[in-house]
Structure 1
Amino acid sequence: MTTQDHQGAVEAADGQTLAAAAGGLTYPVAAGYRVKVRRGPGTDYPVVRTLAEGARIQIRCQQHGEKVSGPCGTSDLWDSIAPGEYVSDTYVRTGSGGMVAPRCTS
């Protein structure tokens, strides 16, 4: 089991963007990782909680932040999984290298 200092990542096809936000589509955290959920889109933000290995997440919205490298590549995309909870898009398997949910508005 590996513990990461970054938040989980998520990627998926643009066709799944609205489904992810409205239909409850979930994405798996990269296999073998316990992903730290942070208060904002960067590793300087405090850790809110840690996702269990094998967890699945629903992406509410996405925004650009700190560039992070992880098992799913390198990206500055961060996924909001709840109000005030973000994971790096590089720690979630979405099947896409781009945005899969609407941009966060705040």
Structure 2
Amino acid sequence: MLAGASEAAAAVGGSGFPTFPVAPGYQVNVRSGPGTNYSILRVLPFGATVGVRCQCEGQVISGPYGTTALWDCIGNGEFISDAYVKTGSSGYVTSRCG
């Protein structure tokens, strides 16, 4: 795990990727790319935890954890804005996508 990530918030799950909670009280859209112009693939339920495979720059989004252009890849071609994920950092907490 990269420096700056909250060790209490992140734990490596069975997937081998660091896992983080989604902001409480939010059902977050999972998109096919790093922006709201990409299609919605599914919606994460309240209380979801996600494994972050990699991160990339995309559309700037404001959410409960600030305003950011950082997007988290949580599955093959599945992205959510880092503004809705409690990583304990305003920067990268895992490798860059690509």
User: 1:50-86 CA deviation, whole Å, 9 max, x = no partner?
Assistant: 0000000000000000000000000000000011100
Which structure has the higher relative contact order (CA within 8 Å, separation 6+)?
1
* In structure 1, C-alpha distance between the alignment counterparts of 2:48 and 2:72, rounded to whole Å: 15
Aligned to 2:59: 66
Q: Does 1:38 align with 2:26?
A: no
State whether residues 20 and 59 of structure 1, in contact with CA within 8 Å, keep that contact through their aligned partners in structure 2.
no
Q: Does 1:87 align with 2:80?
A: yes
TM-score w.r.t. length of structure 1: 0.79
State whether residues 67 and 76 of structure 1, in contact with CA within 8 Å, keep that contact through their aligned partners in structure 2.
yes
Q: One-letter code of the match for 1:104?
A: C
Structure 1: segments with no counterpart, 5+ residues: 1-12
State whether residues 17 and 53 of structure 2, in contact with CA within 8 Å, keep that contact through their aligned partners in structure 1.
no
Deviation at 1:87, TM superposition (A): 0.2
Please state which structure has a larger fraction of its residues in helix: 1
Deviation at 1:14, TM superposition (A): 2.3
Aligned residue for 1:33, secondary structure, equals: coil
State whether residues 32 and 78 of structure 2, in contact with CA within 8 Å, keep that contact through their aligned partners in structure 1.
yes
How many equivalent residue pairs?
91
Structure 2: segments with no counterpart, 5+ residues: 6-10
Task: List structure 1 runs of 4+ shifted beyond 2 angstroms.
Answer: 13-16, 19-25
- TM-align CA RMSD: 1.9
Q: One-letter code of the match for 1:34?
A: Q
* In structure 2, C-alpha distance between the alignment counterparts of 1:25 and 1:86, rounded to whole Å: 15
Q: Give aligned-pair identity as a percent.
A: 51
State whether residues 59 and 69 of structure 2, in contact with CA within 8 Å, keep that contact through their aligned partners in structure 1.
yes
